Amino acid sequence: MGSLISLAFFALLIAVLIDIILIADSRIKNLGKITWIFIVIFLPLIGSILWFAIGREYQPGKEFTSFGAPERRAALQPLDTSTTEAELAQIDAEIEYFQKQETIRKLEKKLRDRKQLP
């Protein structure tokens, strides 16, 4: 029984250290990555609990449930219209840019043709 608890404790320690090492720096709160590693190594149980409680920033909108097909969960969630509107605005801006470039090319061609006439 004691070896099972030790094995679980060691697995938790390794999982927390891997999580700290692989997580992006922008998602670490309060302290630096190296400091969190030292805290987890020197205070394994308390450091692990602190890491999951206050050390890392969880991604918003991520669900931790694994029940059901992901397609069904995605179908139930409303579509994000802000990104669609932003993409449409970007496409409109690109179209306008290329139309202006085409107009500039036509005007330059007319100017060259006029200079060649006399």
In the prediction, which pLDDT does 103 show? Answer: 94
Q: Kindly state the percentage of the chain with pLDDT values over 70.
A: 79
- This prediction has a pTM of 0.47
| Residues 60 and 27: beta-carbon distance below 8 Å | no
| Residues 48 and 55: beta-carbon distance below 8 Å | no
Q: Where are the alpha helices (DSSP H) in 43-80?
A: 44-50, 70-76
Sketch the domain layout of the chain as residue ranges: 1-59, 81-118
Distance from C-alpha of 35 to C-alpha of 95, rounded to nearest angstrom: 50
pLDDT in tens, 82-116: 678 888 888 898 999 999 999 999 999 998 888 88
Q: Which two tokens stand for residue 83?
A: 């990104």
Give phi and psi for 69, each to the nearest 5: -75, 140
